Amino acid sequence: MGVLSGLYPQRVFDHFEELTRIPRGSGNEKAVSDHLVSFAKEHDLFYVQDAANNVIIIKEASAGYETEEPLILQGHMDMVAVKDADCPLSLEHDALEIAVEGDTVYAKGTSLGGDDGIAVAYALAVLEDETLSHPRLEAVFTTDEEVGMNGAAAIDLSMLMGRRLLNIDSEEEGILTVGCAGGVRVHSVIPVNRKRQQGSLARIRIYGLLGGHSGAEIHKQRGNANVLMGRLLNGLSAKVPYALVSCTGGTKDNAIPIEAEAELIISPENRETVKSAVAEYERTYQKEYVNRDAGVRIELTIGENGGAQTEEKKYLSGDTATDSDYEALDEDSTKTVVRFLASVPDGVQAMSMDISGLVETSLNMGIVRLTGKGLETDHSIRSSVASAKDALREKLTALSALAGGTVSCHGDYPAWEYRKDSPLREQMIVQYREMFGKEPRVEVIHAGLECGLLSAKLPGLDCVSFGPDLTDIHTTSERMHIASVGRMYDYLRALIEKKK
């Protein structure tokens, strides 16, 4: 008996629970790709697995549907794998610990991977269902969607006959998505110099933020821990001199970071000034974010007797260092890093002038790391206007150059443009109305979907994205809503069975 036994639709939840036992963070998808191949072999279905671990599974039409237009079912197999700081699981090797609470499924201490495990579970349940009347079904499972849609960029779709595609990668029931922003990832490296310095070690930790998806939640203007840390460090530098030892925050470029930490070397006589300044920033942030991220907190610890602790010895360059010696950035590098973090744009940059309420352009500073290479940052840029996306990338490049750094870009994908004439969209609107007695919302979104890349490979492709309710995706608060999973699966079956 699985944790999800007894839930409807049972086979969907059976497949989803199997997926939670397979580590499948982006870049770690070989095992789940092989799982899909095993499924195809078990059910005697044609399949292709490519070098990027993408998988295509094809099931020929059932009796009476041979002349119907083929239908493509599409989703990605990877997930944003994040965990709480105190979670002991290895997201590269361990199964998730899932549980049911009320009408929701969640994972203890980690993200759940409903984005986009539910698409895989839906497709597998459909492919194995011998009671379902259907046209030729072409299931496309892609990899590395969450880190730049690399699988969709690499996949060969020339074998597909269908030109109707259901992308099951939306997270709100009742919404049909028909267009999305394009995006690109930008990695910046700012070189630094270190030298041995003495003083008290102050450790500042910003935490308690909600985070969220950098596309779906960016308009909510939640706090970005990396941005808040840059602002604090810059303000603190005007009050007391310090040397930066470490700075880290965020785990994924497309997840709004919920926590950041920095370590500074300060003079013992400045301890009280630092305490007062950090406390003032906590009050300021709590006031500013009271209606959007009220849980923000700042923790400050300053070591006794110069601040040295056993784990802090990793910053020392030699065995002869004293208890108050640290390898910290020199004065110029500290200023450069702090000013860069304080000046980098973040969040919503422009709203659409064509669609009310739609974010046009944004970016998210998802990862900050002070490493042996220097200050490394990772940004996710999104825009429905290609030139605006390019301009923001150029701005990051210019800011990095001013700081003496360089950038590299990857995962560039095009926007999925709204199609005025869409028979699939019209069919889905009618079917939704018939089943649920109300109109679905038809939207263009700021979050990225693979439909733009797939449309470029299949001219004339008619795409619509939908899915059940998933909340707080890309965070450890992620929830999958059970009743919604059932309703949207029934909707999917009806779309498949209904003849033109």
Give one DSSP letter per residue of 180-218, joined into a string.
E-EEEEEEEEE---EEEEESEEEEEEEE----EETTTSG
pLDDT, tens digit (0-9, with 9 covering 90-100), for 178-215: 999 999 999 999 999 999 999 999 999 999 999 988 98
> Cα torsion for 222, 223, 227, 228, to the nearest 10°?
160
Peptide bond into 462 cis (omega under 30): no
Phi-psi region of 390 (alpha: psi -120 to 50; beta: other; left: phi over 0): alpha
Phi, psi torsion values for 131, nearest 5 degrees: -90, -10
Spatial separation of the C-alpha atoms in residues 313 and 265, rounded to whole Å:
14
**DSSP output for 116-163:** HHHHHHHHHHHHH-TT---S-EEEEEES-GGGT-HHHHH---TT----
Q: Is 346 a catalytic residue?
A: no
Spatial separation of the C-alpha atoms in residues 442 and 312, rounded to whole Å:
53
Please name the amino acid found at residue 494: A
Which residues are registered as beta bridge partners of 142?
Answer: 76
Please name the amino acid found at residue 192: V
The proportion of the chain whose per-residue pLDDT surpasses 90, expressed as a percent, equals 85
pLDDT, tens digit (0-9, with 9 covering 90-100), for 207-228: 999 998 898 899 999 999 999 9
Average pLDDT on 35-42 reads 98
CA 64 to chain centre: 42
| Selected residue with higher pLDDT from 499 and 415 | 415
Residue 409 has pLDDT above 70, yes or no: yes
Residue environment code for 410-426, b if the CB has 16+ CB neighbours within 10 A, otherwise e: ebbbbbbebbeebebbe
Cβ pair 49, 139 in contact under 8 A: no
Within a 10 A sphere around the Cβ of 295, how many other Cβ atoms? 12
Q: Which of 7-16, 27-36, 85-94, 307-316 has the lowest mean pLDDT?
A: 307-316
Instruction: Choose, from 18, 115, 144, 145, the residue flagged as catalytic.
Output: 145
pLDDT, tens digit (0-9, with 9 covering 90-100), for 224-269: 999 999 999 999 999 999 999 999 999 889 889 999 999 999 999 9
Tokens 């595609």 map to which residue?
165
Residue 314 has pLDDT above 80, yes or no: no
pLDDT, tens digit (0-9, with 9 covering 90-100), for 342-384: 999 999 999 988 788 889 999 999 999 999 999 999 999 999 8
Phi-psi region of 148 (alpha: psi -120 to 50; beta: other; left: phi over 0): left
Quick one: which of 49, 20, 252, 225 has its CA closest to 148?
252
Spatial separation of the C-alpha atoms in residues 175 and 43, rounded to whole Å:
33
Query: Could you give the C-alpha distances from 438 to 54, 179, 232, 433, 434, in angstroms and in order?
Result: 37, 22, 49, 5, 8
Average pLDDT on 307-326 reads 43
Could you give the angle at the alpha carbon of 288 between the alpha carbons of 265 and 383, nearest 5°?
90
Spatial separation of the C-alpha atoms in residues 54 and 144, rounded to whole Å:
9
Quick one: which of 77, 241, 211, 41 has its CA closest to 150?
77
Phi, psi torsion values for 419, nearest 5 degrees: -105, 120
Q: Which two tokens stand for residue 52?
A: 């990027």
Spatial separation of the C-alpha atoms in residues 52 and 40, rounded to whole Å:
18
Instruction: Choose, from 29, 78, 146, 293, the residue flagged as catalytic.
Output: 78
| Selected residue with higher pLDDT from 169 and 321 | 169
Under the banding of pLDDT at 50, 70 and 90, the label for residue 462 is very high
Strand ranges for 250-318 from DSSP E: 255-256, 260-266, 297-302
Q: How many residues does the chain have?
A: 500
Taken in order 368, 374, 380, 384, the sign of the CA dihedral is positive
Whole-number mean pLDDT of the chain?
93
Please name the amino acid found at residue 369: R
Which residues are registered as beta bridge partners of 182?
Answer: 383
Spatial separation of the C-alpha atoms in residues 412 and 278, rounded to whole Å:
39
Cβ pair 414, 449 in contact under 8 A: no
pLDDT at 324: 62
Under the banding of pLDDT at 50, 70 and 90, the label for residue 85 is confident
Could you give the angle at the alpha carbon of 311 between the alpha carbons of 307 and 312, nearest 5°?
45
pLDDT, tens digit (0-9, with 9 covering 90-100), for 467-481: 999 999 988 999 999
Q: Is 78 a catalytic residue?
A: yes
